[in-house]
């Protein structure tokens, strides 16, 4: 049977809607907040297991929407690093403290996105990257794949690499959606092997499934109404909020418990 605990539902419903809006419209920056929100009511591995099937359904809607709009130049780089990262995440899953991963990713997100927000507010424009960079791309996508597997926090690292290219907003979102659609499917089978898909988790995912299309369509709607100039400002703002949430959760768990 699915989880009917009122606290879990009060956290899971807005969490999944937030993830859908973020994935569908802004590249998934706030998507990293889904598991931390649910983790206030249930253990992190259980939250990640409940979320993964819904992410896969959201990815299907996203690929349909952005099916012809994603970067062919960057995808081989991102997939190479992402697959390596998934392997690292799988090997480290039972040994690496998830809170330290959240702290590291949160700090990266805060520093990177904070600078972007300040530059936008001051009217400054950082230099735009042009040619794909294999070393940087593989490194950040490897970090993304590992943190996605361990803590469902893969969005911030990959945005550190992609944002400097200042892609068209639709190309940016489409590239991230295709990348994480593949990463999420590759995570599915190791999650099965690790025993994360219990009957309770599966039924909870099914019960929450209607939220997937609602959140994604809301994200599509917002995406079409945010102009290119403000798009990256909002991406950085969402990423900044996500980073602070990750830092807060990790700090509370590591040092204030």
pLDDT digits (tens, 9 = 90+) for 159-217: 889 988 989 999 999 999 999 999 999 999 999 999 999 999 999 999 999 999 999 99
**Reported pTM:** 0.86
CB count, 10 Å around CB of 216? Answer: 27
Q: Is 72 exposed, middle or buried (0-12, 13-18, 19+ CB in 10 A)?
A: exposed
How far, CA to CA in Å, does 217 sit from each of 19, 210, 211? 12, 12, 10
Residue 1 lies in a domain: no
Per-residue pLDDT of 132-152, as tens digits, reads 999 999 999 999 999 888 877
User: Does residue 127 have a pLDDT over 60?
Assistant: no
Residue 212 lies in a domain: yes
| 175 vs 26: which has the higher pLDDT | 175
Per-residue pLDDT of 59-88, as tens digits, reads 999 999 998 999 999 999 999 999 999 999
Residue 81 lies in a domain: yes
pLDDT band at 56 (very low <50, low <70, confident <90, very high): very high
Q: Which of 10-19, 52-61, 94-103 has the lowest mean pLDDT?
A: 94-103
Mean pLDDT calculated for residue range 82-99: 87
pLDDT band at 1 (very low <50, low <70, confident <90, very high): low
Mean pLDDT calculated for residue range 107-126: 71
Tokens 């099916």 found at: 67
Q: What is the pLDDT of residue 215?
A: 94
Q: Which domain holds residue 61?
A: 6-255
Q: What is the pLDDT of residue 20?
A: 92
Residue 12 lies in a domain: yes
Q: CA–CA separation, 166 vs 150, rounded Å?
A: 29
Q: CA–CA separation, 191 vs 85, rounded Å?
A: 15
Instruction: Judge whether 220 and 24 are in contact, CB under 8 Å.
Output: yes
| 28 vs 197: which has the higher pLDDT | 197
Q: What is the pLDDT of residue 156?
A: 82
Q: What is the pLDDT of residue 108?
A: 78
Map residue 167 onto helix, strand or coil: coil
How far, CA to CA in Å, does 95 sit from each of 90, 99, 185? 10, 12, 23
User: Does residue 253 have a pLDDT over 60?
Assistant: yes
User: Does residue 102 have a pLDDT over 90?
Assistant: no
Mean pLDDT of the chain: 86
Total domains, the chain: 1
């Amino acid at each position: 049977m699915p989880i009917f605990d009122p606290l879990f539902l009060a956290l899971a419903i807005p969490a999944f809607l937030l993830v859908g809006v973020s994935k569908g419209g802004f590249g998934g920056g706030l998507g990293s907040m889904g598991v931390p929100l649910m983790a206030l009511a249930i253990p992190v591995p259980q939250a990640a297991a409940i979320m993964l099937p819904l992410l896969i359904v959201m990815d299907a809607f996203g690929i349909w929407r952005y099916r012809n709009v994603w970067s062919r130049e960057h995808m081989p780089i991102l997939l190479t690093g992402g697959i390596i990262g998934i392997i690292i995440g799988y090997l480290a899953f039972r040994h690496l403290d998830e809170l330290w991963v959240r702290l590291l990713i949160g700090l990266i997100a805060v520093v990177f996105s904070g600078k972007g927000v300040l530059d936008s507010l001051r009217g400054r424009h950082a230099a735009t990257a042009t040619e794909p960079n294999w070393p940087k791309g593989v490194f950040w996508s490897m970090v993304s794949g590992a943190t996605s597997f361990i803590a469902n926090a893969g969005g911030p690292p990959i945005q550190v690499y992609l944002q400097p290219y200042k892609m068209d907003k639709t190309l940016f979102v489409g590239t991230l959606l295709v990348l994480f659609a593949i990463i999420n499917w590759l995570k599915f089978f190791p999650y099965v092997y690790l025993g994360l898909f219990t009957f309770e988790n599966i039924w909870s995912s099914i019960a929450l499934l209607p939220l997937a299309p609602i959140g994604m369509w809301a994200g599509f709607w917002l995406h079409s109404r945010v102009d290119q100039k403000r798009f990256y400002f909002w991406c950085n703002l969402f990423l900044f909020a996500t980073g602070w949430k990750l830092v807060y959760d990790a700090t509370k768990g590591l040092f204030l418990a």
